[in-house]
Chains A and B, each alone.
Chain A
Amino acid sequence: MILAVGLNHYLVLSALIFSLGVLCMATKRNAIGILIGVELVLNAANINLVAFSKYNAGVGDGHIFAVFVILLAAAEAALAIAIFMNFYNTLRTIDVDRGDELRG
């Protein structure tokens, strides 16, 4: 029965969220919007890891990987925001399409 939830449901959900994250990265011109897209993509990957850890005979490796992904996402967000602040201080805007000069 298709309504009984199995591994595939989680994988499809993750694929959808991943695509939405990519779409978000592609359509937003606000730098923080792009960061939000990245977070979506990472979340999609995490769903995969945890679902595989639950449905295939893992020993919890998926959980560990997911913990590291969350950790790296947090680190990445902190750095990205710091870079955006610098970007804004230099260009007085957060529109990524305006950051096309090589000179700072």
Chain B
Amino acid sequence: MDDLAFYIFAAVSLLSAIGIVASSNIVRSAVCLLGTLGGVACLYFVLDANLLAVIQLIVYAGGTLVLMVFGIMLTSKSPWVGFRATRGQVAGAVLVAILMAVGISTLVLTAEWSQSANAPLKTSPSVAEVGEMLLTDYLVPFEVASVLLLVVMIGAAYLARTEK
């Protein structure tokens, strides 16, 4: 059943990712991004990373995506303006992307991972365990990240203000 779930959600996220690239309308790209984010969140559920899945949904889909659509609305004169790259640029980019996908996949498939790669070895950490790790082993990065968020908040507010 887990295998079936993987294939379904992987297909959803891949197809939406292709949709993002293929669509010339930026709002449609953003909607496709919702599909990818949701698919990846479901993959996290399949991987027993429940906390991460809901964080993905609440931060990315509920926050970042709304922010992006907001940005699109504020920065486009007409809804249907699309800027397209030239044909040569697109061809080059596609070539590079295909090379990259093939290269990374070959590398991944031929690599010798230290552990058996086909059987999950450990049950994933529960929410309580992740929380405990955040507040013990990873306390310094956690605090630094909170300071960073504060700085980002102030910085974004400063950047986006209107000139008087």
Contacts and interface: CB of A to CB of B under 8 A. Distances in A.
Size class of the contact patch on chain B: 35 or more
A22 to B, nearest CB: 6
B136 to A, nearest CB: 11
A19 B75 contact: no
A78 B63 CA distance: 10
A60 B129 contact: yes
Interface in A30-77: 30-33, 35-37, 39-40, 43, 46-47, 50-51, 53-61, 63-64, 66-68, 70-75, 77
B79 interface: no
> Most B CB atoms within 10 A — which of A3, A33, A35, A68?
A33
Please classify the interface of chain A as helix (H, G, I), strand (E, B), loop, or mixed, using the class held by over half of its residues. Answer: helix
Nearest to B103: A15
A6 to B, nearest CB: 4
Contacts of A89: 162-163
B52 A63 contact: yes
Interface in B93-152: 93-94, 96-98, 100-101, 104-105, 108-109, 113-115, 117-122, 124-125, 129-130, 133-134, 138, 141, 145, 148-149, 152
Interface string B72-91: 10111000001111000110
Contact of B33 (A30, A36, A63, A75): A36
A94 B163 CA distance: 19
A81 B68 contact: yes
27 contacts: A12-B108, A13-B13, A13-B43, A15-B100, A19-B97, A19-B100, A20-B18, A23-B94, A24-B21, A26-B97, A28-B26, A32-B26, A32-B68, A36-B33, A39-B60, A40-B17, A46-B52, A54-B48, A56-B117, A60-B125, A60-B129, A63-B130, A66-B49, A78-B152, A79-B152, A85-B159, A89-B162
Given A26-B97, A77-B64, A84-B71, 5 more contacts: A8-B117, A57-B115, A70-B55, A85-B160, A94-B76
Interface of B: 2-3, 6-7, 10, 13-14, 17-18, 20-21, 26, 29-30, 33, 36-37, 40, 43-44, 47-49, 51-52, 55-56, 59-60, 63-64, 67-68, 70-72, 74-76, 82-85, 89-90, 92-94, 96-98, 100-101, 104-105, 108-109, 113-115, 117-122, 124-125, 129-130, 133-134, 138, 141, 145, 148-149, 152-153, 155-157, 159-160, 162-163
